[in-house]
Amino acid sequence: MHPAMMTSTRSVFAIASLALASIALGCGGHDGESASQGVSSDELGAGRYGVDYSFARPSPATLRANGYTFAVRYLSYEPAKNLSRGEAQALIAAGIDVVSNWEEGASDALKGFARGASDASEAARQAAEDGAPASRPIYFSVDFDVQPSQLAAVEAYFEGVASVIGVARTGVYGGYYVVSQLFDAGRIKYGWQTYAWSRGKWDPRAQARQIQNSILGGTCDKDQAIAADFGQWGSGGAPSGGKGVAEIAFQANTSSLWTVGNAGNKDWGLGMMPGTSPSIAALEGGGFEVAFQANTGDLWTVGDAGNTNWHLGMMAGSSPAITGLKGGGFEVAFQANTTNLWTVGNAGNKDWALGMMKGTSPSITGLDTGGFEVAFQANTTNLWTVGDAGNQDWQLGMHSASSPSITALAGGKFQVAFEANTTNLWTVGDAGNRDWQLGMYAGTSPSIAALGGGSFQVAFQANTTSLWTVGDGGDKDWGLGMMPGSSPSISSLGGGGFHATFEANTTSLWSAGTDGVTDMQLGMMKGTGPSGS
């Protein structure tokens, strides 16, 4: 289901049917159903396209000229089919990323744990010889229509794979049933789903999809990559902190904290204060950390940098913000139960003795020169920024129920987005000050992300309740209805791309951006907002 169509006095917004996926395939590798069948690119929306092939050897220059930016290549016991280091280098030199896939026999996954372990050992050896980083995943093919009676054997095979390379590097190629069942069982972290044997269903957790067989003269299959990280290495490599949405944090409709994405899906079993939103940040050394207000009113942080109850009381109804720091670690900004701005973390703990508008939330960004900068609504309703880039009362009135968003620009600079007391969207900072003359839903908050080169993109809920994005990446009414009163989150994908996450008017978590659109079919607490890193 899509967010319900929204009607205003000016227009009616139609909503396109799209699904999140990333795709990789092999030229003449997997059989699928029929060579003429597939999913049209119009169904999936814009994204990166690639090919996969086994015995064919298309020219990397030709692939690139046809718009393909990645190739899924084979590992097996059959040398003539396999990727070589020389071929990988030629693809990378042409600007084409590589994805590794193991397939010997179509139904080898029925051979259980021992075969999975032996296949994984050989696959890891070959991938390393080809130049693949040791952290990159390998897909293992289940190239047939798996039946329920066969699932136990298939699960045992993938348990064997993970015993060698770890679940974090384990992926599956197959139809909807096997991909979904292996995700549910926690046997895989990556999915490359084919339209074959899927009967029109797509698992939103799969980072890759096969959409068409027999292209380029019948020698290749066509794939589309939607997720920022679909297992690629080489030319663009894997996304890193700040260069792609790898994980999303949100308050589920159970009031528990959840994180979902390429680092895995998890119900943390930690209750959040109803009506508040978490914040997530990528860490320089890898992984992520989440800050949130627990249902006790205390500030908590959880993730790869450790889990901590800070025993610091937050203002009811407010939400913290977290950023990764240059050199490692993180810093959190929040409104204390005294209404003062506080920051805590690896850059130090501080009560700024600056009063905030009660119930609003600050925003924090790590600067590339070191340190951080915080934006917040003061108890005068004015926008303020404080931190290593300087302290300033901007003398600009904000909507009393809204919160600003800040992003770092190159050279220790920054840009802030906020809802003015006119309800218009404004941006101010080193990239210039502007009243966008675009009405926001009263009391909501925009989100801003740097795109590189001093450019930025903003996501917000318009006064029509539709999601909008504006900035150097283009201005767009997405025609997707948001939950009234909720706020979106936006992150850069690198290369000028961006990705927004938001609560739809169905209360489901949705994402939209230059990498596609999807209903993630996960219920959120009404009126809260997600955070993407």
**DSSP characters for 417-484?**
EEEBTTSEEEEEETT--EEEEEEBPTT---EEEEEETTEEEEEEEBTTSEEEEEETT--EEEEEEBPT
Other beta carbons less than 10 A from residue 167's beta carbon: 17
Strands of 68-227, DSSP E: 68-75, 97-102, 138-141, 170-174, 190-194, 208-215, 220-225
pLDDT surpasses 80 at 298? yes
pLDDT surpasses 80 at 130? yes
Q: If you average pLDDT over residues 323-341, what whole number do you get? A: 96
The pair of three-digit structure tokens given for residue 299, joined into one six-digit string: 């500030």
What b/e sequence results for 117-136 when a residue is b if at least 16 CB atoms lie within 10 Å of its CB, and e otherwise?
Answer: bebbeebbebbeebbbeeeb
Q: The tokens 């009391």 sit on which residue?
A: 443
Indicate the average pLDDT of the chain: 87
Strands 476-481 and 466-471: antiparallel
pLDDT interval class at 26 (50, 70, 90): very low
CA distances from 371 to 240, 330, 367, 386, 404 (A): 20, 10, 6, 11, 19
Residues 6+ apart with CB under 8 A from 504: 2, 3, 480, 481, 482, 483, 510, 519
Rounded CA-CA distance 370/335 in Å is 23
The pair of three-digit structure tokens given for residue 345, joined into one six-digit string: 């973390």
Q: If you average pLDDT over residues 73-91, what whole number do you get? A: 95
How many residues are present in the chain?
533
Rounded CA-CA distance 250/277 in Å is 7
Q: Pick the residue with more confidence: 512 or 458?
A: 458
pLDDT surpasses 70 at 484? yes
Q: If you average pLDDT over residues 415-437, what whole number do you get? A: 97
pLDDT surpasses 50 at 85? yes
pLDDT of residue 14: 23
Share of the chain above pLDDT 70, in %: 88
Rounded CA-CA distance 137/158 in Å is 13
Q: Pick the residue with more confidence: 468 or 37?
A: 468
Other beta carbons less than 10 A from residue 306's beta carbon: 8
pLDDT of residue 38: 58
Using CA of residue 307, residue 308, residue 309, residue 314, what is the dihedral sign?
negative
Using CA of residue 459, residue 461, residue 465, residue 470, what is the dihedral sign?
negative
Q: If you average pLDDT over residues 186-213, what whole number do you get? A: 94
pLDDT of residue 43: 43
pLDDT of residue 127: 94
Helix axis angle, 176-184 to 151-165, nearest 10°? 60
pLDDT interval class at 56 (50, 70, 90): very high
pLDDT surpasses 90 at 179? yes
Residues 6+ apart with CB under 8 A from 335: 314, 315, 318, 341, 342, 356, 358, 359, 360, 361, 362, 376
pLDDT of residue 246: 62
pLDDT per position as a tens digit, 436-458 = 999 999 999 999 999 887 899 99
Other beta carbons less than 10 A from residue 214's beta carbon: 18
pLDDT surpasses 90 at 347? yes
pTM above 0.75, yes or no: no
